[in-house]
Chain A
């Protein structure tokens, strides 16, 4: 049954080479921890992706309860954390996952840096990777405000002040980030939009680029 459906689609779209390319490509020995234990450093990229998937999923589920509004944001987060079954776990996954993504991504970056894997011909992939890093930091920054508790509020005020101190365009930048003259309702909706739509969209595009380049160029050779 499944086979027939697959064949029917394959006949028309010739999808076999697409997944065959991913499934059957050979992975060299030097990145395989079964051959050299030290090769575990090559795992961090994959783990970053795995946790990113967890982040996207848990984030999608959290928005089922969350409201980006200064009156209800806190109440809804408190409600989903304390009253909804498994809310503590789903929010916990998103909260701790955010830290873990940063850790894994940092380790991945260090691996690439110290093995010199960013050298020609992989310069572009390094740049894309760094952009992913910055987007992730942006996601962390915007997500921190969303529960709208005191810690989030005051940390964001500091961030906005830092933006304000940028020469020439500082005040404009601050007002653009906070969406008004004070940090309040409009700041929250703005950060929410960035956190949930804009930054993830950019992240996904960059990730696709990152992966396509890896498949095209292969993993960097052994040292």
Chain B
């Protein structure tokens, strides 16, 4: 490790005792510090750049006005609404549908018509053989009013977060079904 000149340099000094730092150790620590600074200076901005999506504020509370609360009946009704989406630099509007009804207590909830089997779009009461059920024409998945699965699908229909404000129903993001559990 130690070369000739290294020994020469340390000759006039006291041989380093255990508590003292040798010149070489000092240099090594300084070099380590400088390396860490350079690494951090280069990498940190880039890491912050890369993890930006998870640190960006989510569109929390992004509710869209969809329907008048007075028009909601116990029979599910279909409503379509446009959701402006900003996918990075790509701005688009997604047109979404929701089947909205109120239950016996008057609580309003909205189901997403995306079939939990393979993602087709279900419809209410659209098959004569199975009245008063959500039916998916692709593979015959069926759901109850609350979205509980009856056939083919493995999970209940998803729900929109719902908010009622000033007589209007506002819908938010899609979340797993909670109403079907109450029914069961």
Contacts and interface: CB of A to CB of B under 8 A. Distances in A.
Given A65-B88, A76-B89, A86 B48 contact: yes
Interface in B17-63: 38, 42-43, 45-46, 48-50, 52, 55
A26 B3 contact: yes
Contact of B46 (A24, A61, A79): A61
B95 interface: no
A85 B42 contact: no
Contacts, number: 47
A86 B52 CA distance: 9
Contacts of A90: 45-46, 49
B88 A79 contact: yes
Interface residues of B, number: 15
Interface string A72-93: 1001101110011111011001
Interface in A1-51: 24, 26, 50
Nearest to B47: A61
Given A78-B89, A79-B89, A57 B52 contact: no
B51 to A, nearest CB: 9
A164 interface: no
A36 to B, nearest CB: 16
Given A24-B1, A64-B50, A86 B45 contact: yes
A189 interface: no
B178 to A, nearest CB: 35
Given A54-B42, A85-B55, A87-B49, 16 more contacts: A26-B3, A53-B42, A57-B46, A58-B46, A61-B49, A64-B50, A75-B89, A76-B88, A76-B89, A79-B88, A84-B49, A85-B49, A86-B48, A86-B52, A87-B52, A90-B45
